[in-house]
Amino acid sequence: MSDLEGFGFVLPHWFYWGWLAVMPLILMALDRWTGKGRDAEQEIGHPVMGELQAEDDPLIALQFEGNWFTRAIDWISDKSGLFVAFWTVNAVCFYFFEVVMRYLFNMPTIWVHEASFLLLGMQYLLAGAFALLHGAHVRVDVLYNLLPVRGRVGMDIFTSMFFFIFALALLITSWTFFVNSYSMHETTVETWGIQYWPVKGMMVLGSVLILLAGLSKLIKDIVLFVRLGQEPTV
């Protein structure tokens, strides 16, 4: 870091990556500890979000509960999304630090903006599985909403092949980017010069997570489609 002398405080690379790995675990543990009170309130009679959604969408109410395989994938998808959600706190703190240093001390940083956009970029990639699990991806529902419940499930099964084509292409491309970046010890072009290959690695991990989440959804959709076909009326 000797080439950065004179720039004031510069966040060390090792601390940046280490903090991103540890900080969400700490906050998740605190959230779990403080969440016991919220769970008690829900048991008293407060509705949870899943119950509200089930009242509005019959497809959610009929959702197949899954087997051990899909439940394991869904747990990973949910926890990975919760993990990266806490990274947003870092971005807020980083930019607050930048504003204070720039406008109060006239000492703008050289690393805050880069640290933040790398963080948010990785967060975007890793949150895909969480969004798919909770139905948060954008979908054109013009024709979809006109179909009966079983027709919607069938449409989800049919269109899943396009999803898997995209997910596999993303995985293969991301792996190529990661291997090339790691082999050349790629760093960012800014003065901070942090390692870039971990970001490419998050592309691979995000692709794997969303591919697994899509597989879990496909399994549950197929089982639900068969069950609905066995019922006399839907």
Dump pLDDT digits (tens) for 182-220.
999 999 887 888 999 999 999 999 999 999 999 999 999
The C-alpha atoms of residue 152 and residue 154 are separated, in whole angstroms, by 5
Query: Among residues of the chain, what percentage have pLDDT more than 70?
Result: 82
Model-wide pTM > 0.85:
no
Indicate the domain borders of the chain. 8-229
Q: Which residue from 191, 224, 206 is spatially nearest to 61, judged by alpha carbons?
A: 224
Residue 36, Cβ density class (10 Å: 0-12 exposed, 13-18 middle, ≥19 buried): exposed
Comparing CA positions, the residue from 87, 88, 112, 115 lying closest to residue 98 is 112
Kindly state the average pLDDT of the residues 26-34. Answer: 88
> Is-contact 232 217, C-beta < 8 A?
no
Q: CA-CA distances (angstroms) from residue 16 to 41, 106, 111, 221? A: 37, 24, 11, 40
Q: Are 43 and 36 in contact (CB under 8 A)?
A: no
Q: What is the mean pLDDT of residues 1-20?
A: 78
pLDDT reported for residue 33: 85
Torsion, CA 102, CA 11, CA 115, CA 127, rounded to 10: -130
Please name which of 141, 170, 160 lies closest in space to residue 217, comparing C-alpha atoms. 160
Mean pLDDT of 146-156: 89
Is it the case that residue 61 has pLDDT exceeding 90?
no
- pLDDT, position 173: 96
